[in-house]
Amino acid sequence: MRFSTDSDSEIIKGFCSCLVWILDGAYPDKVMGLKIENLSALNVGLHGRSHSRVNTWHNVLISMQKRTKLAVLEGKRRSFW
């Protein structure tokens, strides 16, 4: 999978860049299997920290996973025809 992100907020750009750094080039099963709890080693944006940062990380991760799922389904559809 290939990912890129952008945001008006520098903080959000930084959070998103971390997720892109982790998942860009990963196989779909790795993207789909990642849970927000798996990011605890990064020690940012997780439960017990700023609630809005938790939501940002979670929302971006969910978006990446949804796009991965759609890409996989589209690829299967194309190979079927």
pLDDT digits (tens, 9 = 90+) for 1-36: 999 888 888 888 887 888 899 899 999 999 999 887
pTM of the model: 0.74
Is there a domain that residue 65 lies in?
yes
Q: How confident is the model at residue 44 (pLDDT cuts 50, 70, 90)?
A: low
Q: Is residue 1 part of a domain?
A: no
Alpha-carbon span 78 to 75, nearest angstrom: 5
Q: Is residue 29 domain-resident?
A: yes
- The 10s digit of each residue's pLDDT in 54-72 is 677 788 889 999 999 999 9
- What is the structure's pLDDT at 68? 95
Structural domain that includes position 48 = 10-80
DSSP for 19-60? HHHHHTT--HHHHHH--GGGGGGG-SS-TTS-HHHHHHHHHH
**What is d(CA 28, CA 13) in angstroms, rounded to the nearest whole number?**
23
Residue 70 in domain:
yes
Assigned domain for 41 exists: yes
Is 52 part of a structural domain of the chain? yes
How many domains, in total, are found in the chain? 1
